[in-house]
Structure 1
Amino acid sequence: MKKMVFSSAALLFAVLTYGQGCSDAGICTIGSGFQTTEEKLKNTVEIATTFGAGESDLTYLSPTLSYTRQFNEKFALSTKVTFSSANGGLGTRAAFGDAYLIGNYSFAEKNKKQWSALLGWKFPFTASNLKINGYSLPLDYQSSLGTFDLFLGTNFKYSQWDFNVAVQIPVFNNNKNSYFKEYATTNDFPTTNLFERQPDALFRTTYTLNTKNQKFSFKPNVLFIYHLGEDSFENIFGKRETIVGSEGLTINGNLISAYNISNRKSVELSVATPFVVRDIRPDGLTRSFVLSVQYKFSF
């Protein structure tokens, strides 16, 4: 227990001082879709707020609201709505981001081993072209990437370990961003005019440790995210250009600490930091600090 508390404090210190942030287009956060509630508690509501700091002194406040319905011991359906407010040198812009619909099917457990499968969609509320005073904004200020994405995943649970693999595939691109670095007053952000994003693949391993009284739980986990290709944009001449360095691997460390108020209510604190990042992330998802607090109740 002492080692776990020390590790938690060390990771939090790393995030506060050195981290570049664990942020993504959604694939990191769908892991909760593999979780199920107790058989007698069919409904779960989650209210969360994430605070982050990005590049060029940008700060973010991103509340989310989620609802999960456990239809039976095998099938559950989750929905989530996101909102994001970005504040920086170009001003402040806030808007709804995306809506998620995630279905999870759990197979029968045998000898503390259990498989589950996940299928889901992400729907954007914006075309990623929010503006301030008529001026186009880079993706760092946008609340959504403007893509309709498909999620496919599977999870293997053994005792206190979870291993899950997932892919996020942009199926339909509605990104109408019109930001040009050449016409901007800053060189901090790359051109993302009519941005097109490539798919992501994820592998995550999680270990769950509970205290004897079951009041506290700690879930250290490591995520390997590979961006499967180089993103692109349309230049001022109407030709598409790839963004060199946008393909590649990101490795994130994450710690989720939870306090169970009762068998129906809990509070979670999540901190994260990357150990390896891509050369360039033009999607505007880079963070220098990420802290998330979540309240969950089931009924």
Structure 2
Amino acid sequence: MKHFVLIITFLGSFTLYAQGCSDAGFCSVDNTFTDEITKTKNQLDFGAIIGTGEEDISYFSPYVTYTRNFSEAFSVSAKLTYSNADGDLGSNGQLGDVFVVGNYKFKSEKASMWSTLLGLKIPLTNSDTKINGAAVPLAYQSSLGTYDLIAGVGLNYKKWFFNTALQLPLVNNNENTYFNELSSSNAFASTNLFERKADVLFRTTYTITTNKKFTFKPNLLFIYHLGEDTYENLAGNRTSIDGSEGLTINGNLITSYAISNRKSLELSIASPFTIREERPDGLTRSFTAGLIYKYAF
């Protein structure tokens, strides 16, 4: 019973207007640390996330992930994302990014285990999609148009899991042309030829197992944006976006149900506590909920 009280208290503490995660996928990089599929060679995840963002934009973001275990220590995952955004400026649905991530787990005879990951995010759009011929902000785009390096380290200790990761833009292919001054809405920051800074992440997770079927994982996620993003203004000068550097704190609850030894369903509910002053990347979410079907073979 105390487990359910903890979960209800955790959910009830969420605030509902804030910054979401970094790029779709970055907040779930720890999945490659914790998925226990070493008894099989392969796993397929079919997932979908719904969310609400700035100016009541609604999001539907399905994705698929394939993981291959080459040994008990080493695995590689490939993830394909899609996003549909619908709001006052119209609707846009497109493929987003491809994530390729390798994970290595170090052998340990103790209660703790270290692991590392290294990966790449590959954009499938240049973030320049228009709606009815008009440029739209990044909140309506399915990708930020950057090739990113993702690197991290994790520690499992008994029922606790801690991980930290870096998402570093390597190549910027963002060709967005949105200007706040020329738009019918002034709710979004100008992002013409947007350039974004890196993010660092720290997550702490606690695992609660009630029986052989249900597992609960409440966790806190800290994301720090390492500098102010920039755009090219109407005069052609690169301009910093004040307030775009800073900390985001997200709360998340993951509930997993084991259908069988090789099949499971996972529900994730998240919302932020703390926000950056400006979020020009369009990743603001007041609330997200995700459902994943996992099949190992």
TM bucket normalised to smaller: over 0.9
- What's the counterpart of residue 157 of structure 2? 158
Moved more, 288-297 or 20-29: 20-29
- 3-state SS of paired residue (2:29): helix
Q: Percent identity?
A: 51
- RMSD of Structure 2 on Structure 1 (CA): 1.4
Cross-structure match for 2:97 = 98
Contact 2:244-2:278 at 8 Å conserved across structures:
yes
Q: CA deviation at 1:58?
A: 0.6
Aligned to 1:80: 79
Question: Hey, what does 1:262 align to over in structure 2?
Answer: 260
2:167–2:199: 8 Å Cα contact kept in structure 1?
A: yes
Indicate if the aligned counterparts of 1:14 and 1:273 stay in contact, CA closer than 8 A: no
Letter matched to residue 207 of structure 2: T
C-alpha distance in structure 2 between counterparts of 1:14 and 1:132, whole Å: 37
Letter in 1 for 2:58: T
Report how far residue 182 of structure 1 moved. Answer: 0.6
Checking the alignment, whether the CA contact within 8 Å between 2:63 and 2:81 is kept in structure 1 is: yes
1:14 shift after superposition: 5.2
Secondary structure of the 1:49 match is: strand
Q: Partner residue of 1:226?
A: 224
Q: Which aligned pairs between 1:277-292 and structure 2 lie closer than 5 A?
A: 277-292=275-290
Find the aligned partners of 2:208 and 2:276 in 1 and give their Cα distance.
31
Aligned positions, number: 296
Residue correspondence of structure 1 range 1-299 to structure 2 within 5 A: 2-13=1-12, 18-20=16-18, 22-25=20-23, 26-211=25-210, 213-299=211-297
The superposition leaves residues 195-254 of structure 1 with CA deviations (integer Å, 9 ceiling, x where unpaired) of: 00000011111111111x321001011111110000000000110000010001111111
Per-residue deviation at 1:133? 1.7
Q: CA deviation at 1:39?
A: 3.1
* Deviation of the 1:37 alpha carbon: 3.1
When normalised by structure 1's length, the TM-score is 0.96
Once residues 97 and 263 of structure 2 are traced to their aligned partners in structure 1, the CA distance between those partners, rounded to angstroms, is 26
For structure 1, which runs of at least 5 residues remain unmatched after alignment? none
Cα 1:51–1:38 change in 2 (3 A) is closer
Q: Find the aligned partners of 1:219 and 1:22 in 2 and give their Cα distance.
A: 19
2:212 match: secondary structure = coil
Unaligned runs of 5+ in 2: none
Cα distance in 2 for residues equivalent to 1:19 and 1:187: 18
Contact 1:51 1:59 in 2 (8 A): yes
Q: What is the DSSP-based 3-state SS (H/G/I as helix, E as strand, rest coil) of the residue aligned with 2:197?
A: coil
Distance 2:159 2:6 in 1: 18
- Aligned-pair distance for 1:42? 1.1
Q: TM-score, normalised by structure 2?
A: 0.96
Secondary structure of 1:196's aligned partner: coil
